[in-house]
Amino acid sequence: MLTQFKTIALIGKYASPQMEVTLPQLADYLRALGHEVLIAHNTADQLGLLHQATAELSEIGERADLAVVLGGDGTMLSIARMLVAHDVPLVGVNQGRLGFLTDVPVETMQENLTAILAGEYVTEQRLLLHTEIVRAGETIFSACAFNDVVVSKGGMGRLIEFEAVIDGEFVYSQRSDGLVIATPTGSTAYALSAGGPILHPTLEAFVLVPICAHTLAARPIVVNSHALVELHLVHADDASVHFDGQRQWDIQIGDVVRISRAPKKITLLHPKNYSYYKTLREKLYWGKKL
């Protein structure tokens, strides 16, 4: 069965004990359907599959029509950042815990992928954040985040102080443990734990959520996705910026953390019966007795 997705890349979470069985089975199944299958080189190396067709992630972006990510949401976050520049749609097979992004159950992955490859799927485009850290007028570091950018105190545990400026206008000065700037995708992650709202993933917006602010008046703010958010670090003994909880960069007094939407979006493909609200009900246990 040949579709618009002729070449399919498989990318797996290295440390998952199930991957040794799941990924080779899926690769054989897709080949039997007539697709060319590329296994991410690091994944193949970990699973002893280097005798099969492999590709580096940079090559996958150029060669694959579709990438299937097997693992948890953390794996999907990492792969999405790497492939966003190449416009490769992603399908997530859940072998983790929550599965907000990897929403295809491993038990039904062949059935669901067969339908998706036949054109029966729901397409969603999700925005990412682009961040620059500016010191003395020069950009010293930049990175993208799919879930969130978090400016926070470091290991010393002392509050940091910063000023928030949105689209050139001073908004507030705050002393706190930090601030979460989350995309709609990331609104169900750290931002939710810090008391932020849930944003539907298709909204053109992102949310600023204070972390343990030293005031009772601090509240989350939802801003347009085209806004430019600048955080000026006024005081900190130890502070850093975290990207999806997977990368970090230390900052110092006088630094400016400049956050805007990334130029490209990630395309996710879901099964035809996908419902974001159903996902929320299941993952957040809405209406269930605990």
Please state the separation of Cα 180 from the chain's center in Å.
Answer: 14
Query: Burial code of 62-84, b = ≥16 C-beta within 10 A, e = fewer?
Result: eebebbbbbbbbbbbbbbbbbbb
Cα–Cα distance, 21 to 176 (Å, whole number): 46
Cα–Cα distance, 155 to 199 (Å, whole number): 31
Known catalytic membership, residue 73:
yes
3-state helix, strand, coil in the chain (%, to 5): 25, 40, 35
Set 28, 65, 73, 255: catalytic member: 73
Radius of gyration for the chain, computed over Cα atoms and rounded to the nearest angstrom = 20
Residue among 75, 27, 34 nearest 50 (CA): 27
Task: Give the sign of the dihedral formed by CA 142, CA 242, CA 182, CA 253.
Answer: negative
Residues in CB range of 60: below 8 A, 6 or more apart: 9, 11, 38, 40, 67, 83, 86, 88
Cα–Cα distance, 82 to 73 (Å, whole number): 14
Q: Which residues are catalytic?
A: 73
